[in-house]
Amino acid sequence: MPTPDAPELPGTLDAEAFVGRPRETLRGALGEDEPDTLGAPGEVLLMGTLGVGGMAVVRLGRQSSLDREVAVKTLRADKTSEASRKRLLREAWITGLLEHPNVVPIHDLRLDAQGAPQILLKRIDGEPWSSLLAEPERLARRVGAQDPLSWNVRVLIALCNAVDFAHSRGILHRDIKPDNVMIGAFGEVTLLDWGIAARLVPDPQGGPPAMPPDGKAAGTPAYMAPEMLYGHAQTARTDVYLLGAVLHELLTGHPPHQGSSLSALVESIVTPTPPPPDTPPTLARLCVQALSIDPGRRPESAAAFRARLERFLDRRSGEQLVEAARVQLDAFRDALRDGAPELETAERFSSARFGFAQALAAWPDDAAARAGLDACLQLAAEWALGRGDLQVARYHLQQVHTPDPALARRVEEAVLADAERTRALQELAYQSDARVGWRDRNGIGYVLLFTALGFSLWLALRPEPPSYLAFAATSVAILAVLGAGLLWWGRGLLATRYNRHLVASIAFIPLAQTVVDLGAWLRGWPPVQSHGVVLVVAACGWFFMALSIQWRILGLSVVWGMLWLIASMKPALTYVLQGVGVTVSIVWMARVWPKPEE
């Protein structure tokens, strides 16, 4: 057997026939056991020509005895040699042995008036498969095929049935090609032209001849197996090669062997050409294996070849789903790249994911569907990550079988960072939540206000004017009450920044008043003049409390400011006005301070 690197040119090749007519069958040589006898001529009326081959012509005829149309195969006028006669008889003999729905039936074998052999075949109303392959647009009109590849694969499966049956009878066809396949008016598939068919082994009881051991090339150059080129031993895997050659033509639009010179065509035969990259993977693998130069690497039989075609058809709907989903995946990728509207992008993603998921639901082990779904989900995870939808990104990534480590790391880092931000925001919300410690806060607030009211009344009702010592005692008492409250309610009051600001604002008023009183005493001001300033201090305290804690108490700042203005005009009313301010504060706080449900 030659190798692709060193193809050997058989010395018996006719270069003109081999290169000039690569789709025409080379008949090879005859064996010694060829049939050479026939019965008497019959009544057949010959009409128009149906087709002309390399050796014979097929005419339309009418068999008068049964009044039916038949196809009559006879030798061409220029092919009337004894060798041609024996070849035609061999074809009739072999075809007559093969009663199968996909093999043309022989009605009779006889001599015409001139003593030439005639084969009466069933007349098939149809056209060669090759004509449909040459004009794919006619396929939909002719047979209504919406998926041409699937339809053609079904035709090839029918051929496998015929070839498998022939092999079971020990017969090799050796010339399987679309030109030798007839598609009937109702889609019937018939394998024709068994002219170079032969038995795998001799039949001791006679019958069709075995393979002639002449070493001459036989077959159709555009399709033939390497062992046919050199006349080497041929087996059932030789016909499997021819089935693979037909599959190659279905996938590429041309036979597997091409060349403008004898050496180029021979090299093409011993150097298989793989199908294009866009070929369905299942068929591509089958085609490459069937066209292997080593027969041992081909599928073991036509039945095995057929089984793989049937598996392809079983998976074809899944592959079509995957193909449609890939289109949507590309559209999804384009939408992300072009910054398409979010709704449009989401629709593209949903369509792609649905298609891949449907394919996997039907065929869970479909690698192409799994790879497509993983790519789609990872792209969606990238998209969600860019939008900040981190849980969505993590969800998509969790469905990927083998996620990209870099993307998974980015998502997890973003999720952790987001969790930290969320924790910080929750802490901030807690620290600013007025509901935390509200009972403790209200309790100490009212105690302080009533304490302040009591001291205000004490200062207003004293028979003698208050001294700086009395003022100091008032401030100390209020601070003491505040301190006691912190000891009692400290856990709730100091747990949050909101409450700490409130405590600081409350403590500001007596502390500020103490500083004012100390300054006034050092300046020698009368106590009543100093104490009037407490109204301004209270106004400031409520103002800062409103800004930092609760805007609803801003009105108290206004009230205390107005009381300061009145006290400035009527100093004698200072202590009374202070009591009025404290009373208004108690009522105001009771009315406007927010409840927990607010």
Measured torsion, CA atoms of residues 253, 259, 265, 269, in degrees rounded to the nearest 10: -30
Bridge-partner residues for 214, per DSSP? none
Q: Is the pLDDT of residue 296 over 90?
A: yes
- Residue 553 in domain: yes
Helix (H, G, I), strand (E, B) or coil at 5: coil
Tally of structural domains, the chain: 2
Of 135, 121, 140, whose CA–CA distance to 63 is shortest? 121
Return the higher-pLDDT residue of 357 and 580.
Answer: 357
| pLDDT tens digits along 481-517 | 778 877 777 666 777 887 787 777 777 778 878 888 8
Of 241, 364, 360, whose CA–CA distance to 292 is shortest? 241
Return the higher-pLDDT residue of 172 and 21.
Answer: 172
Do 13 and 217 touch, CB atoms closer than 8 A? yes
Do residues 440 and 505 both lie within one domain? yes
In sequence order, what are the residues at sequence separation of 6 or more whose Cβ sits closer than 8 angstroms to the Cβ of residue 301?
164, 167, 236, 237, 240
Do residues 460 and 400 both lie within one domain? no
Per-residue confidence (pLDDT) for residue 7, from 0 to 100: 60
Mean pLDDT in residue range 84-111: 86
Residue written as token pair 């064996």: 31
Return the higher-pLDDT residue of 284 and 12.
Answer: 284
Return the higher-pLDDT residue of 461 and 71.
Answer: 71
Do 171 and 94 touch, CB atoms closer than 8 A? yes
418 CB neighbour count, 10 Å cutoff: 13
Q: Angle at Cα 85 formed by Cα 84 and Cα 88, nearest 5°?
A: 85
Counting beta carbons within 10 angstroms of the beta carbon of residue 523, is it exposed (0 to 12), middle (13 to 18) or buried (19 or more)?
Answer: exposed
Of 172, 60, 181, 174, whose CA–CA distance to 120 is shortest? 60
pLDDT band at residue 279 using 50, 70 and 90 as cut-offs = confident
| pLDDT tens digits along 523-539 | 888 887 777 788 888 88
**Strands 198-199, 171-172: pairing kind:** antiparallel
Mean pLDDT score of the chain: 83
Q: Is the pLDDT of residue 134 over 60?
A: yes
- Residue 540 in domain: yes
CA distances from 534 to 201, 455, 523, 541 (A): 127, 13, 17, 10
pLDDT band at residue 34 using 50, 70 and 90 as cut-offs = low
Do 548 and 523 touch, CB atoms closer than 8 A? no
Per-residue confidence (pLDDT) for residue 325, from 0 to 100: 93
Residue 331 is encoded by which pair of tokens?
A: 């559209």
Using the 3D structure, point to which of 430, 456, 475 is the last residue of a domain: 430
Mean pLDDT in residue range 188-200: 88
Do residues 455 and 576 both lie within one domain? yes
Do residues 581 and 501 both lie within one domain? yes
Per-residue confidence (pLDDT) for residue 168, from 0 to 100: 93
Bridge-partner residues for 184, per DSSP? 126
Do residues 463 and 483 both lie within one domain? yes
* DSSP string across 157-206: HHHHHHHHHHHHTTEE-----GGGEEEETTS-EEE---TT-EESS--TT-
| pLDDT tens digits along 316-327 | 878 788 889 999
Q: Is the pLDDT of residue 14 over 70?
A: no
Residue written as token pair 């073991």: 300
Of 25, 29, 13, whose CA–CA distance to 81 is shortest? 29
Of 98, 210, 219, 119, whose CA–CA distance to 162 is shortest? 98
- Residue 224 in domain: no
Of 368, 333, 362, whose CA–CA distance to 349 is shortest? 333
Do residues 400 and 484 both lie within one domain? no
Q: Is the pLDDT of residue 38 over 50?
A: no
Counting beta carbons within 10 angstroms of the beta carbon of residue 233, is it exposed (0 to 12), middle (13 to 18) or buried (19 or more)?
Answer: exposed
- Residue 360 in domain: yes
Return the higher-pLDDT residue of 471 and 306.
Answer: 306
In sequence order, what are the residues at sequence separation of 6 or more whose Cβ sits closer than 8 angstroms to the Cβ of residue 373?
353, 356, 357, 360, 399
The sign of the torsion formed by the CA atoms of 388, 392, 396, 399 equals positive
| pLDDT tens digits along 405-460 | 898 899 888 888 888 888 988 888 887 777 776 777 677 777 777 777 777 777 77
- Residue 502 in domain: yes
In sequence order, what are the residues at sequence separation of 6 or more whose Cβ sits closer than 8 angstroms to the Cβ of residue 514?
471, 472, 475
Do residues 344 and 467 both lie within one domain? no
Do residues 424 and 440 both lie within one domain? no
Q: Is the pLDDT of residue 596 over 70?
A: no
Do residues 424 and 453 both lie within one domain? no
The CATH number linked to 367 is 1.25.40
* DSSP string across 98-165: ---TTBPPEEEEEE-TTS-EEEEEEPP-EEEHHHHHH-HHHHHHHH--SSHHHHHHHHHHHHHHHHHH
Residue 530: give the domain boundaries. 435-592
Cβ density class 104-121: b for 16+ within 10 Å, e for less: bebbbbbebeeebbbbbb
Do 308 and 299 touch, CB atoms closer than 8 A? yes
| pLDDT tens digits along 368-417 | 899 999 999 999 999 998 888 888 888 998 999 888 889 889 988 888 88
Using the 3D structure, point to which of 430, 454, 480 is the last residue of a domain: 430
pLDDT band at residue 480 using 50, 70 and 90 as cut-offs = confident
Do residues 395 and 347 both lie within one domain? yes
Q: Which residues are catalytic?
A: 175
pTM above 0.95, yes or no: no
Do residues 451 and 551 both lie within one domain? yes
Do residues 411 and 461 both lie within one domain? no
CA distance 99 to 106: 9
Using the 3D structure, point to which of 430, 453, 486 is the last residue of a domain: 430
* DSSP string across 446-491: HHHHHHHHHHHHHHHH-SS---HHHHHHHHHHHHHHHHHHHHHHHH
Per-residue confidence (pLDDT) for residue 183, from 0 to 100: 92
pLDDT cut 90: percent of the chain above it: 27
